[in-house]
Amino acid sequence: MNECKLLFGTTNKGKLAEVRKVLAPSGIAIEGLESLGSAAPHVVEGLPSYEGNAALKSRAYAAWSGRPCIADDTGIEIDELRGLPGVYSARFGLRRAAEILGCGRPSPARFVCCIAYSEPNGRTVCVHGELKGVIEVPSMAVVSQIEGTPLPYSPVFTPAGEPKSLSDMHASGSFLSHRGRAVLSLMKVLGWA
């Protein structure tokens, strides 16, 4: 598949940049919702699963735009919190996680990402990506600095076997995260890889 434009149902610039980078070698161009020039509908992620929320968004934006669309739902599952915050990661917030865990205490965790691809006719395909590691919040001062950023858990999450945080790994440009793994899996499922 060459020179294809695919809509990504997100307003998160960090996610958009990451998916663009992963798909750049394939010739698939990713456009965000803002590229269509009109106000996209607000889709409420109220379902209890990554798959449900990702599919809800991709279907809504594909129907609205008349174009194939991908959307994701991503969360961090912290062992010490029995898998929370999971699908509620954005609403739960890094500050609340740090308050419960305590600063400076590492806890095994994993990032989970579901990417859904939908066509305007309703056909939908969902795939997953996962990244295991450790979350450790050094201080509440750090929480205050990063809690409003597009990917607030990434600076305090270290992938298994890596010496740097996930955000530092992204900056290096060569690391494949949970979202990147899900995107590549989707390409294979759709026969685009």
Q: d(Cα 163, Cα 147) in Å, to the nearest integer?
A: 22
User: What average pLDDT does the segment 93-116 reach?
Assistant: 94
CATH code: domain of residue 22: 3.90.950.10
Q: Helix (H, G, I), strand (E, B), or coil: what is residue 6?
A: strand
- pLDDT tens column, 1-49: 445 789 999 988 888 988 998 998 888 999 999 888 778 888 988 899 9
Structurally, the chain folds into a number of domains equal to 1
Residue 70's domain comprises 4-189
Cis peptide bond upstream of 85, omega within 30: yes
Q: What is the pTM of this model?
A: 0.90
Catalytic residues: 73
- pLDDT tens column, 90-99: 899 999 999 9
